[in-house]
A = this chain, B = another copy of it.
Amino acid sequence: MLGRRGLGAAQCAWRGSWADPVRAVSTKALSRRSTIRDARLLDSGSRVAVGGWVKSVRKHKSVSFVNVNDGSCLGELQITLPAEETQEAAVQSLGAKLSDITVGSSVYAEGELREVPGGKHKRLELHPSTLEVLGECDIQKYPLQKKYHSLEFLRENLHLRARTNTFGAVTRVRNALSQGLHSYFQKNDFLHLHSPILTSNDCEGAGEMFRIAKMDGKDEEFFGTPTYLTVSGQLHGEMYACALSKVYTFGPTFRAENSNTTRHLAEFWMVEPEMAFAGLEECVASAQGAVQSSVAHALDTCSEDIAFFNKNYDKQIAERLERVVEKDFARLTYTEAIGVLQKAVAESKGKVSFEKKPEWGMDLQTEHERFLAEKYVGGPVFVTDYPADIKAFYMRKNAPDEQDRETVAGMDLLVPKIGELVGGSVREERFEVLEKKMRHLGLLPEGDLDEDSIAASGGDLDWYLDLRRFGSVPHAGWGLGFERLVLFATGMDNIRDVIPLPRFPGQCKH
């Protein structure tokens, strides 16, 4: 019998067979247990060992069915307990007590896979020769004993929610989306850049940054300067792109915003590629490529999970994802987009209206973004060339348009259900233009950039100007809020449900 004691025994046997104390690693161990996903793909008659948690128990007079899941897939493996006269004795002969086999308990089983008789689709069940309850579960105390729980209830039981179908599926899809992104970047010559969490650069609004506390009992900063948690890896991405051409960051970023909504987290993951020798075209094409690669990998490896979301959370999710992968994304300029919105209102005879009236110069609101993606295009759409006044200082200005309005070479990717999924731009690579802008915004110390005034300015961004001083290159990049992609791909509604341990005002348990 394997199981807990079996593991120890195997190790001892291995140990005894060597005279010299140095042994090689036994690499056989990992192959002993099959995942339930793999077991379900085997042929009838195969012998297999599995471990997992009991999802349901149906006890009948002559036969009982125990459904087990191990997280490797959404599906369960049915263990069929023998039909003998005294079932309790039969189960005991396998190594377990029937009363210990409850929802939530963990079991280890070995046996033979056989086809379930009489089913429409081929389905295998396990006839065990060994069955061991590894960990019991008191169903009187177990918070998840019932089959269905509200998402709210599960948010209160974060440490157990991964044991439910929904959160198992979210975790697998999240993993697949993440790997699909890595694949895209690795295939396209981007280097993964582990940009730092801790930073002294505070250029995107101090109020929204978490700050590291001073050292206990002393009025001293650990790093000598005020230190914050990063809000974006972009500037560090630019640092490396301006040396190695193509890099991407993929890690947590932070906002100390007091927002209690279904769209905001204090800690969330961003992927931020940055490319040298690139402009708006590369920005747009790589954002499409990365999103498509990510979604395709989820469709390829998590079809069962996506069917589950389609059935239980959003009836259009499967079709929407297929469409993302098949077609090139649409494209509009901001100016065209405003025209489309205004025309839609004017021609709809009151059927289309927005809380905020579409006018050139305004920032697009979620209602506008969703209208463009859902109603006008019916899929993902890039909006490019936004007014300069509503965008960040580092975006590169276009030449003024026919009406002498100033825009920047920036783009947002809008998708149905979510609105903005990606935001990016060409970066201002001209030293003089950037320096003037930064000085105007107070991001540089006043006066000449001598060493004393730089040191006095706190957040020292002179290094960022150095990237333009020495061998500057046209470069561009974008950022994708990874949780938004998970929302988009699962059909879940609340951002707190698509990250393992959500952090928001008042909540940082565990």
A interface residue numbers (CB < 8 A to B) = 4, 7-8, 10-11, 14-15, 21-30, 33, 35, 37, 51-54, 70-72, 104-106, 108, 134-138, 141-142, 144, 158-160, 162-163, 167-168, 171-172, 174-175, 178-179, 182, 186, 188-189, 191-201, 207, 210-216, 222-225, 227, 229, 235-236, 239-240, 243-247, 251-252, 254, 256, 266-267, 269, 276-282, 284-286, 288-289, 327-333, 336, 339-340, 376-377, 381-382, 429, 460, 463-464, 466-474, 499-501, 503, 505-510
CB distance from A279 to the nearest CB of B (A): 4
* A-B pairs with beta carbons under 8 Å apart, 30 shown: A21-B333, A21-B339, A23-B330, A23-B331, A25-B284, A25-B285, A25-B329, A25-B330, A29-B284, A35-B245, A37-B189, A51-B276, A71-B191, A71-B243, A105-B471, A142-B470, A160-B243, A172-B191, A196-B267, A196-B500, A198-B266, A200-B508, A210-B213, A211-B213, A211-B216, A222-B256, A223-B507, A224-B505, A236-B501, A463-B509
**Most central of A104, A213, A330, A333 by chain B CB within 10 Å:** A213
Complex contacts, A33 vs chain B, CB 8 Å: 277
Q: Known A-B contacts: A22-B381, A27-B328, A223-B266. Give 4 more (CB < 8 A).
A: A51-B245, A213-B214, A239-B510, A240-B500
A460 → B minimal CB distance (Å): 7
Distance in angstroms from A501 CB to nearest chain B CB is 4
CB–CB B285/A29 < 8 A: yes
Determine which of B141, B467, B472, B505 lies in contact with A223 in the assembled complex, contact meaning CB atoms within 8 Å.
Answer: B505
Q: Check if A269 sits within 8 Å of B194, measured CB to CB.
A: yes
Q: Across the interface, which residues of B come within 8 angstroms of A277, CB to CB?
A: 33, 51, 70, 108, 134
Could you say which of B30, B137, B508 contacts A470, with CB atoms under 8 Å apart? Answer: B137
Asked if B336 and A71 make an inter-chain contact with CB atoms under 8 angstroms apart, the answer reads no
Give the contacting residue for A162; candidates B7, B198, B244; CB below 8 A.
B244
CB atoms of B472 and A134 under 8 A apart: yes
Asked if B508 and A224 make an inter-chain contact with CB atoms under 8 angstroms apart, the answer reads: yes
Contact: B160 with A470, CB < 8 Å? yes
Q: Judge whether A243 and B163 touch: CB under 8 Å.
A: yes
Name the one of B25, B37, B175 contacting A192, with C-beta atoms under 8 angstroms: B175
Is the pair B24, A328 in contact by a Cβ cutoff of 8 Å?
yes
- Chain B residue contacts of A199, Cβ below 8 A: 508, 510
CA distance A265 to B36 in the complex (A): 41
CB contacts (< 8 Å) of A252 on chain B: these are: 194, 196-197, 251-252
Alpha-carbon separation in the docked complex, A173 to B215 (Å): 35
Nearest-neighbour CB distance to chain B for A249, whole angstroms, equals 9
Q: Report how far A468 CA is from B106 CA in the complex, Å.
A: 11
Q: Are A134 and B473 in contact (CB under 8 A)?
A: yes
Task: Check B178 against A279 for contact (C-beta < 8 Å).
Answer: no
| Cβ contact within 8 Å between B285 and A472 | no
Cβ of A11 and Cβ of B179 under 8 Å apart?
no
Q: Known: A30-B285, A285-B30. Contact between A35 and B189, CB under 8 A?
A: yes
Q: Across the interface, which residues of B come within 8 angstroms of A281, CB to CB?
A: 7, 10-11, 14, 26, 29-30
Cross-chain contact A210 with B194 (CB below 8 angstroms): no
Contact B236 A222 (CB under 8 A): no
Query: Is the pair B331, A29 in contact by a Cβ cutoff of 8 Å?
Result: no
Residues of B within 8 Å of A197, CB to CB, are 197, 229, 252, 254, 267
CB contacts (< 8 Å) of A198 on chain B: these are 254, 266-267, 503, 508
B500 touches A236 (CB 8 A): yes
- A160 smallest CB distance to B (angstroms): 7
Q: Does the CB pair B236–A289 fall under 8 Å?
A: no
| Complex contact A340–B21 (CB within 8 A) | yes
Residue of B nearest to A133 (CB): B471
A210/B222 in contact, CB under 8 A:
yes
Distance in Å: Cβ of A311 to nearest Cβ of chain B: 21
Give A37's nearest chain B residue, CB to CB.
Answer: B189
**In the complex, how many angstroms separate the beta carbon of A38 from the nearest chain B beta carbon?**
8
**Residue in A71, A141, A235, A508 with the greatest tally of chain B CB atoms within 10 Å:** A508
Partner of A8, one of B193, B279, B285: B279
Q: Is the CB of A472 within 8 A of B106?
A: yes
Q: Are B194 and A470 in contact (CB under 8 A)?
A: no
With A168-B244, A510-B239 known as contacts, the answer to whether A503 contacts B162 (CB < 8 A) is no
